Amino acid sequence: MALGTHELDIRPEIVAALAAGRPVVALESTLIAHGLPYPQNVETARAAEVAVRSAGAVPATVAVLEGRPTVGLTDEEIERLARAKDVHKASRRDLAAAVALGRTAATTVAATIAIAEIAGIRVFATGGIGGAHREEWDISADLYELARTPLAVVCAGAKSILDIPRTLEILETLGVPVVGYGCDTFAGFYLRTTGERVSVRVDDPAAAARLLAVHWGLGGGGVVIAQPVDAEVAVDPDEFAAALTKAEAKARSAGIRGPAVTPFLLAQLAELTNGRSLRANHALIVANARLAAEIAGVLSAL
């Protein structure tokens, strides 16, 4: 029996907005518990919510709290997630265990997509999606969840630590459109571009919303809408490549594998770039939240 909306804790503001046809934007919680250090994590989460509201939409940060999938965290709940040391990391595979065992878990892109879709939310903002890792057979569940769920993910591309050509090839195989927002090449998370071509370009929220409506009308699943990080905070490509090589070597020597790889590499990159990757991460998450709200606003009016 499928998990129903009655088994989610969808907060009253979100319920009212969805019932009234107002735009709502889902936000993930892994960046709070595992992606960024304190206090940058809570500052970024709050700034993303402010950006969504400033663009006329309602933010809905998602997590599992003591076994209850929750849509629309309070400020106090975000603070607790940001400070806690024992929060589980839940991808799509881990949601049932988190719920059945009464765990508190931060949701990845894949898990947030799954919960948002049940709640009736169609637009989601994050920093970067997961994908195919460069040095091991590790394919993120984000890609497969995108393939089967009709939801738009606004991001700054896939995380820069990944094998981008292979990630894009998998998305193509799964039928997921990769849309460049104001650009012809795929955004590179900390970097302005990966140099890889996107499948289509749009230049304003209205065009993005129209594409989503048609894609879903044709029975399509998820859509990636990728906009580049602002040039003022983007990390220099040569500096990033050197830092990533060092970070990957540390991960190998420490025996880091599986779900622990991404947070380990991101933490190492923050140190090796003297915090420049953290500043880029904050800026791109807030920018994506704002764009997602603008697209959701047009989508709700169609």
CATH code assigned to 5-301: 3.40.1790.10
Percent of the chain with pLDDT over 90: 81
Domain ranges of the chain: 5-301
Instruction: Give the separation between CA 33 and CA 213, rounded to whole angstroms.
Output: 33
- Per the structure block, which two tokens stand in for 213? 């409506």
CA distances to 61, 150, 215, 261 from 175, in Å: 27, 12, 11, 27
pLDDT digits (tens, 9 = 90+) for 235-254: 999 998 898 889 888 988 89
Which tokens hold the place of 231?
Answer: 């040039």
pTM for this entry = 0.93
What is the residue-averaged pLDDT of the chain? 94
- Distance between CA atoms of residues 116 and 111, nearest Å: 9
Q: Is 7 a catalytic residue?
A: no
In the annotation, is 159 catalytic? yes
**What pLDDT shows up at residue 136?**
67
Per-residue pLDDT band at 200 (split at 50, 70, 90):
very high
* Confidence at residue 6, expressed as pLDDT on a 0 to 100 scale: 53
Q: How far apart are CA 128 and CA 57, in angstroms?
A: 21
> Choosing from 28, 49, 77, 79, which is the catalytic residue?
28
Burial pattern 272-299, b for ≥16 Cβ within 10 A else e, equals: bbeebbbbbbbbbbbbbbbbbbbbbbbb
Catalytic residue chosen out of the listed positions 77, 89, 145, 159: 159
Q: Which helix (H) or strand (E) holds 207?
A: helix 205-217
